[in-house]
Amino acid sequence: MIRELAFIDVLYLIAAMRWTLALTAIAFAGGAVVGLSVALLRVSPVAPLRWLAMLYVHAVQGTPLLAWLFVFFFGLSIVGITVSPWIAAAAAYSIYAGAFLGEIWRGCLQSIPRTQWEAGASLGLSFTEQLRHVIIPQAVRVAIPPTVGFLVQLIKNTSLAAVIGFVELTREGQLTTATTFRPFSVYLIVAALYFALCFPLTRWSRRLEGRLHVAR
């Protein structure tokens, strides 16, 4: 049944953003936990731990996110384990975001000169104390722009969760197009809504970066 694109459709699209936001929040929170662990393992003095973390990163970066969503949602149900779409999405996105954030944050940790580690070690600080008091506070500043950059990618990638039943922004756009047959207008609105989410983030990251730089 084809009908006109109405104001109510725009409201539905805006409402669908909450799933986009919820998925992003879950993906980022899970990804941050995994990513921090990966980054710390990657700079650890224990070589096997570094290799393990590297293997993980390569494995995840070399496979599509879509595959992880399928594995956790359909794959597990085939072997008799039923998982809710939320659990499946949380697991798949944490694994995916964890690998990318892990790589980003490893780079930030390693961008701090070796002499800073040495200065800490020379004062009797342990490895974890050097990380906590000397390296991480400096790395955080470096990490903000690429982390926000990845977050923006993540917001857009939550649309993939449509395959396991989430009606988030992009999927809602598809549904609206199917009933109104106005793809151009609908997707223009969808794009504008994504932009409304992503643009302030980028702006905020710039401001934060500047502030941290001044405040040291």
Partner 1 sequence: MSLVDLRDVVKRYGPLTVLDGVSLSVEKGEIIAIIGRSGSGKSTLLRCVNGLEPIQGGAVTFAGTVVNDPGTDLRKLRQQVGIVFQSFNLFPHLSVERNITLAPTVVKGMDRRAARELARTVLRKVGLEEKIDAYPDRLSGGQQQRVAIARSLAMSPQLMLFDEITSALDPELVGEVLKVLEEMAADGMTMMLVTHEMGFARKVASRVVFMHQGKVWEQGPAAQTLARPRTPELETFLSAVLH
Residues that bind partner 1 (CB under 8 A): 115-116, 118-126, 129, 133-134, 137-138, 141, 216
Nearest to 39 by CA among 97, 116, 91: 97
Tell me whether residue 79 or residue 213 sits nearer to partner 1 (CB atom).
213
CB of 37 to partner 1, least distance (A): 23
Tell me whether residue 137 or residue 165 sits nearer to partner 1 (CB atom).
137
Tell me whether residue 136 or residue 162 sits nearer to partner 1 (CB atom).
136
State which amino acid sits at residue 14.
I
Assess contact for 156 and 93: CB atoms under 8 A: no
CB of 105 to partner 1, least distance (A): 17
Assess contact for 64 and 161: CB atoms under 8 A: no
Three-state secondary structure call for residue 27 = helix
Tell me whether residue 80 or residue 124 sits nearer to partner 1 (CB atom).
124
Which residues 6+ apart lie within 8 Å of 55 measured at CB? none
Tell me whether residue 58 or residue 133 sits nearer to partner 1 (CB atom).
133
CB of 114 to partner 1, least distance (A): 10
State which amino acid sits at residue 121.
A
202 C-beta neighbours (distance < 10 Å), count: 13
How many Å separate Cα 163 from the centre of its chain? 18
What are φ and ψ of residue 43, in 5° steps?
A: -105, 5
CB of 106 to partner 1, least distance (A): 19
Which residues 6+ apart lie within 8 Å of 140 measured at CB? 108, 212
CB of 101 to partner 1, least distance (A): 22
